[in-house]
Structure formats: C-alpha cells, structure tokens
Amino acid sequence: MVVLAVGFAASAAVASCGGGSAGGGSSAATTGPSLTVATQPDTPCPAPDGSSTPVTRFSKAPKTCIDPSKVYRAKVSTSRGDFTITLDQRAAPTAVNNFVVLARYHYYDGSFFDHVIKDYVVQGGLLPSPSGQGPGYVFPDELPSDKSAYAPGVVAMNTQGANTNGSLFMVVVQNKGLAPRFTIFGRVTEGMDTTIAAINATGSPSGAPSDYTTISSITITESDR
C-alpha cells in the first residue's frame, strides 16, 4: 500500500500493508487546485456548529475538544455521494478528537481520495498543493491487538510509520493482510455499498484512481448514544 508522509509534499512513499507490498506512487497532490494555507497557532477548539474559519495548517496537535460521554458521527459528502462514519473514541480517543477537530475546521473540504487500491482500501484526506504535506503535526498510534480488526468498513489512520498520524485516513474494502499498525477510529455505518463502492470502482492494483473523488465537506454530529 502507498502511504503518504505527513510533513512532506506531493511525493508518496511505498510501504507494506502487512501481507505484501503494493507498488505505484501517486503524485495526486500536485494535480489539484492550490489552496490558501491558513495557520492556527494555538489550536483552540473549533465551534461545534461548523462555523469556524477554515484552517489547513496547524502548529501543533489539537487539545482534547470532544466530550468522552458522547458518540460522534461524521457525514462525509463527496463528489460520488455521502457516507457516514461512526467514530469510536473508546478505541482511539486521540484519533477521534483529531478527526473531529480537523473536520470542524473544514480541513478536509476540497481534499480527495488520492490512493484507491481496488477491493482493498481507499485512502482519503489529501489536500491539493500546496497543503498536501499534512496538518503540520503528528500524533501517537492507538493500535488494535491484531489484524483481524480490519474488517470491511473499518476506518483507520494511514501513516508512514509508527506514531506519524496526521490527516490521512483509509476505509477498508477488504482485508488483504493489513498489519496491526494502523489506528482504527471508526466504521462506515452508512454508504458502504453505495458511495464507498463507487470510490472503490475508480481504483486500480497500483492505487492510482481513474478519476479523483473529492470531499466537499464533513459534518460532525454528537449524541448521547
């Protein structure tokens, strides 16, 4: 599988996803429209209603902004339809908090699925140039105990190596030997057979999609259950 280095620009590094390596780098970060980089020095918690000014570059990882008693869901609106992720902060509170904060700062708006290995995984969260280098920080892993946890529909962080989580995430379409080194922070609970299937259909063995799928927005909701 190809994983993109957090802190680096368009180039991709090739790494193994457990039961074998996948080839083919992606230069997708250089093909999209440029975005203005906005920096948030202190990373305060964003407004829950999504009214915060968009931020695409941070000086450090966000502080805890989520309520541990709540269940968070993310409606991901893409150019191929919507899907919903139910986030699991019991398994990965740091990763869930990170995803919620980035989404509420509109970090993912305009990002795209740059690497789609058909019938394996779809990777999203890459910003067009010049912001394709990641949010400006990394945070530690919160790993499952074994690779059987990567069932279809699982949403996990994608990294270059240990403790290099940033903004990239992937949805498992089929587990083909993923090693237990990717933080699982949720599961697709709506849209797996429609939107994710449509994104998966653009994929290839090398991971280069035939057409890029863009994320227009991610809306976070919270509830007691």
Burial class (CB in 10 A: 0-12, 13-18, 19+), 41: exposed
Residue 196 DSSP symbol: I
Do 44 and 98 contact (CB within 8 A), yes or no? no
Strand ranges (E), 61-177: 71-78, 81-87, 112-113, 115-117, 121-124, 154-157, 169-172
Band of pLDDT at residue 5, cut at 50, 70 and 90: very low
Instruction: Look at residue 146 and tell me whether its pLDDT is greater than 50.
Output: yes
Return the higher-pLDDT residue of 176 and 22. Answer: 176
The token duo for 40 is: 């948030």
Do 127 and 29 contact (CB within 8 A), yes or no? yes
Residue 170 CA to residue 185 CA, distance in Å, equals: 10
Give the CA angle between residues 37, 57, 95 to the nearest 5°: 145
User: 4: closest CA among 157, 191, 175?
Assistant: 157
Q: What is the pLDDT of residues 32-68, one digit of tens each?
A: 334 445 555 567 899 999 999 999 989 899 999 999 9
Instruction: Tell me what pLDDT residue 38 has.
Output: 57
Q: Are strands 115-117 and 81-87 parallel, antiparallel or unpaired?
A: unpaired
Q: What percent of the chain is modeled with pLDDT above 90?
A: 71
Instruction: Tell me what pLDDT residue 225 has.
Output: 76
**Within its chain, how far is the Cα of 26 from the centroid?**
16
Residue 210 DSSP symbol: S
The amino acid at 40: Q
User: 171: closest CA among 57, 55, 46, 86?
Assistant: 86
Mean pLDDT across the chain, nearest whole number? 84
Do 15 and 1 contact (CB within 8 A), yes or no? yes
Q: What is the pLDDT of residues 96-125, one digit of tens each?
A: 999 999 999 999 999 999 999 999 999 999
* Residue ranges of domains in the chain: 72-225
Q: What is the pLDDT of residues 166-180, one digit of tens each?
A: 999 999 999 998 999
Backbone angles phi, psi at 100, to 5 degrees: -60, -45
Which homologous superfamily does the CATH classification assign to the domain defined by 72-225?
Cyclophilin-like (2.40.100.10)
Return the higher-pLDDT residue of 47 and 17. Answer: 47
Instruction: Tell me what pLDDT residue 20 has.
Output: 32
Instruction: Tell me what pLDDT residue 125 has.
Output: 93
Instruction: Look at residue 85 and tell me whether its pLDDT is greater than 90.
Output: yes
Q: Hunting for tokens 């996990």 — which residue is that?
A: 156
Instruction: Look at residue 218 and tell me whether its pLDDT is greater than 80.
Output: yes
Give the CA angle between residues 67, 85, 163 to the nearest 5°: 70
